[in-house]
Homo-oligomer: A and B are copies of this chain.
């Protein structure tokens, strides 16, 4: 008896990467390899492999500058073959078997300049490649991959919209569930749970080494001004020094900002959104700062268009902040002040482009990024907003669905 295969049941939630899109991505990457005079690239990172194969099974994807890619899969070969439109999917029980395949398929002797993902590939694997190809030169292909992944297809935008819808549902539901005295961790649990039920992956993927993030950052009052390890303006104390970010055991208090940064990935694509909620009324200092954040976002929504430099977007926000006398609070304070306003989102939550002074490249149609003007006040907390945008032919489109003001909590009741 052949057992029923749970994978063959096409769930209505599935939306697989079209085969034509995989082919298109490979073709464009091969052009980039050709431009850089590379003979081919070995991709090992799970997300990069997924981008070019439509499967996240564990393996090594060899993409020659010309010709057909070889996907050598450790586990599961069967599943990779079922999910991926690639034609050459081969079992790779041991890493060393790779060399025989390359010889068999005629690639071995042609490889003089080889691409590797040097930003993420562990040193031990890099050393393995150097030993196997002692005469070859190794070049970092991550910039090429990240550049390609920066511009999203219609398929990808559809996935990002799904995540945006889940985030909106989360903020809508949490507003009626919050009570005075609830811990940040309890609020986090509810929001992460809403997202997970809707298909969120249950984790957030980051490319940056050592970077990690839970699904939400829920921080009440002064907690949202606590500086810590994250490469973001807001981090928080977390439950302990071993997890020095995000929700901890602090409790919801009236008239204090409840800062919620929500990262949701449905079918692999991350949305990233921040709202500040309040039970009662915000301190006037925070209220004015939040208005400034909102005006930054609304100004940028009106002026952003293809060709505008990422650095220009950052500087526009910085200038508005300074005009409001908020320069010292813009994107964190003191040691925690960051010099960026936004970042690309997609299969990872820390994609290109980055809206920062040293990113002078222009935004282009199809890019999707989060913009997050925020203001931090030690002892009071952080206010601001984060929304996701897609660059269109003539401007930008907001993917985030939630209203942009500070969200008031209804009903205000006690210790439920």
Contacts and interface: CB of A to CB of B under 8 A. Distances in A.
A140 B125 CA distance: 12
A380 interface: yes
Contact of A229 (B58, B197, B203, B239): B58
A416 to B, nearest CB: 15
Contacts of A75: 227-231, 335-336
Contacts of A55: 241, 244
Given A13-B240, A79-B244, A246-B202, A222 B4 contact: yes
A229 B56 contact: yes
A316 to B, nearest CB: 26
Interface residues on A, range: 35 or more
A3 B269 CA distance: 39
A78 B335 contact: yes
A6 B250 contact: yes
Q: Give the number of times this chain occurs in the complex, counting copies.
A: 2
Interface string A119-150: 11111111100000000000010000000000
Contact of A57 (B45, B79, B228): B228
A171 interface: no
A186 interface: yes
A240 B122 contact: no
A193 interface: yes
A6 B222 contact: yes
A197 B189 contact: yes
A228 B123 contact: no
A192 interface: yes
Nearest to A201: B243
Given A126-B126, A185-B196, A192-B189, A54 B241 contact: yes
B76 A336 contact: yes
A225 to B, nearest CB: 8
Nearest to A91: B335
